[in-house]
Amino acid sequence: MTEGLRRQIVELASVHSGLKNVVEHDAETIVSGTLLFEASADGLETIKESFEIELMIPHDFPETLPRVKETAGRIDTRYEHRNPSGTLCLAVPIEQRRVLLEQPTLLGCVNRLVVPYLYGYCFWKKHGRHPFDEAAHGHEGILRHYMDTFSLRDDLSALAVISFLLEHGYRGHHDCPCGSGLRVKICHGQALLALHQQHTPQTLRGDFIAVFDLCFAKFQNGQISFPQRMRLQLARLLKIVSK
């Protein structure tokens, strides 16, 4: 375990004293125990609760996101936001990165991702609805994230944005991938820069494949067609990501 991670575990335990069991494995460090919180959100009730959780922290955290499990079997089987493997679906990967970068430590991860998730669950259990929005499942949720962040109207524009990020990163003087005809700097500059900073090669690759898969399925059904320029770009990028 790195010195940095060790310090983060100490910081986490100084706030959440129940998260005190630490086990080191080859590929990850596991921190587990009771997470007790009293959480509120603007205009919503305060919820005081405790859960048994397990954080599986990869060695390159915060570059790679931790996985989180609830271990006492308290999450209702009807709650849809759990992965098939039983880990909690905190958010689509890029949104997890967005939230995490606001406080890129283990404590940040627990306070900004895990507690809001569990608060959302408790609220749902009580009222039958989610206090914050829910993302669509699977690839669709990833696609939606781009469409919402950029206020895009169609899937191909989302694919253009993610392709741009994958190929160029951030380039202010290029034409904006949203198709407005304006330069990035005076169009979606800020949003694009933010995404560029949030992404890791891994999340970028994952999102590209997810959005491409969705578009390709629609292409096969005859619902959309790829413009010529995009085809060439996609061919280049597919070669890169398949490496």
Q: Which residues bind to Zn ion, rule: CB under 5 A?
A: 176, 178, 180, 187-188
Task: Give the other-Cβ count within 10 Å of 106's Cβ.
Answer: 25
Residue 180, contacted partner among other proteins, Zn ion, none, CB below 5-8 A by kind: Zn ion
Residue 74, contacted partner among Zn ion, other proteins, none, CB below 5-8 A by kind: other proteins
Residue 105, contacted partner among other proteins, Zn ion, none, CB below 5-8 A by kind: none
The answer to whether residue 99 forms part of the interface with other proteins (CB under 8 A) is: yes
The answer to whether residue 181 forms part of the interface with other proteins (CB under 8 A) is: no
| Cis preceding-peptide flag for 62 (omega within 30 of 0) | yes
Tokens matching residue 137:
């499942």
Residue 171, contacted partner among Zn ion, other proteins, none, CB below 5-8 A by kind: none
The answer to whether residue 150 forms part of the interface with other proteins (CB under 8 A) is: no
The answer to whether residue 115 forms part of the interface with other proteins (CB under 8 A) is: yes
Residue 188, contacted partner among Zn ion, other proteins, none, CB below 5-8 A by kind: Zn ion
Instruction: Using the structure block, give the residue that is written with the tokens 């905190």.
Output: 90
Distances (CA, A) of 160 to 31, 66, 88, 145: 39, 29, 30, 14
Determine contact, residues 122/181, Cβ cutoff 8 Å: no
Give burial (CB, 10 Å; 0-12/13-18/19+) of 188.
Answer: buried
Distances (CA, A) of 153 to 13, 128, 143, 146, 194: 45, 30, 11, 10, 20
Distance between CA atoms of 168 and 243, rounded to whole angstroms? 18
- Cβ proximity to Zn ion: between 59 and 183 the closer is 183
Determine contact, residues 237/167, Cβ cutoff 8 Å: yes
First to last CA, the chain: 30
- Cβ proximity to Zn ion: between 157 and 198 the closer is 157
- Determine the interface stretch with other proteins among 85-93, 192-200, 220-228, 232-240 (rule: CB under 8 A): 85-93
- Determine the interface stretch with other proteins among 38-46, 163-171, 175-183, 231-239 (rule: CB under 8 A): 38-46
- Determine the interface stretch with other proteins among 21-29, 46-54, 151-159, 221-229 (rule: CB under 8 A): 46-54
Q: Would the CA dihedral through 181, 187, 190, 194 be positive or negative?
A: negative
- Cβ proximity to other proteins: between 112 and 188 the closer is 112
Q: Which residues of the chain form contacts with other proteins (CB under 8 A)?
A: 15-16, 36-42, 48-50, 72-74, 76-78, 80-84, 88-92, 95-96, 98-99, 102, 111-113, 115-117, 119-120, 124, 128-130, 132-139, 141
